[in-house]
Chain A
Amino acid sequence: MKGLWWKALTGVWTAVAVVVSIVYAPTSYGFTMHGNGAKILFFHVPCAWFACVGYIMGAVYGYKALRQMASTGWPSGAENDRKSAVSMELGLIFAVLATVSGSIFSRNEWGMYWSWDPRQTSILVVLLLFCAYLVLRGSLAASDIRARLCGGYALIAVVPAIFIIWVLPRVVETLHGGANQAVVGGGLTPAIRGVLYGCALPAFVGIYTWLFQLGVRAHRLVAPRSEVTEVTRA
């Protein structure tokens, strides 16, 4: 297996991150379960971040695919189109995980699974944007037309996604006020920031990279041979 060392490292690192996040991370004042209720954030926050990484990477690869197709025609953009599709698929998975873990946190801390908080609504809209991409992709059979339309969609969808994730929850009243501060550097103690950035985030980087690589390889296997070999020659 290629890259066995970093895949094994991801496995061990993630197991250690789980233990550190739950058992050894300090408790947070003002949360339920004697301050342990906040620890789900070590999972929830990286999931939300990687949902964002998914749609940004999807747009970047979509743009690259469109540019290649515009200059040298199909199937020169096929590889980037596959990467764009995998990014959007991973974005959907991480958005679902962020939504589910966020709902559990919300039930625990605020008393309701769903309260139409601006940030909850924004992740739901992003989730629907990912779903729409996959529906569009699944509805088109011709590879070149699919790559053009999906690349264009990924590029256009990133604009409202950026607005509703990064701008909207900061300009209206939200239950996530503390989280907004945390992202810009305040609100978290150094110990919690250490666990989040030094432990949970690298584990998610490893998992995302692995899933991305697997996704691209799987897409390459089911693609027509002419598209794959053309790319290899180019």
Chain B
Amino acid sequence: MPNLWTIAIVPLLVWAGVFAYLITIDMKIGRRERRTEDDDL
């Protein structure tokens, strides 16, 4: 039975990757929204 911290590091790294991806997508969508609002004006 490996150390539980060794097991926990895998989902932690996966979550770090997902979190970074979500932040990036959120910022990209925000930029597109601002551009669309400018076009509408």
Asked if A23 and B40 sit within 8 Å, CB to CB, the answer is no
List 21 A–B pairs whose Cβ atoms lie within 8 Å, in order of A's numbering.
A1-B23, A1-B27, A7-B26, A11-B19, A14-B15, A15-B15, A15-B16, A18-B8, A22-B4, A22-B11, A23-B8, A36-B4, A43-B11, A211-B22, A214-B22, A214-B25, A214-B29, A217-B29, A218-B29, A221-B32, A229-B40
A interface SS class: helix
Partner of A14, one of B8, B19, B23: B19
Are the CB atoms of A19 and B23 closer together than 8 Å? no
Cβ–Cβ < 8 Å partners of A214 in chain B: 22, 25-26, 29
A-B contact count (CB 8 A): 49
A120–B11 Cα distance when bound, in Å, is: 24
- The docked-state distance in angstroms from the alpha carbon of A33 to that of B16 is 26
Chain A positions within 8 Å of B25 at CB level: 214
Chain A interface residue count, CB cutoff 8 Å, equals 22
CB-based contact A18/B29 at 8 Å:
no
Complex-state Cα separation, A7 to B23, whole angstroms: 8
A22 x B40 contact (CB < 8 A):
no
The residues of B that contact A15 with a CB separation of less than 8 Å are: 12, 15-16
Residue on A with the closest CB to B29?
A217
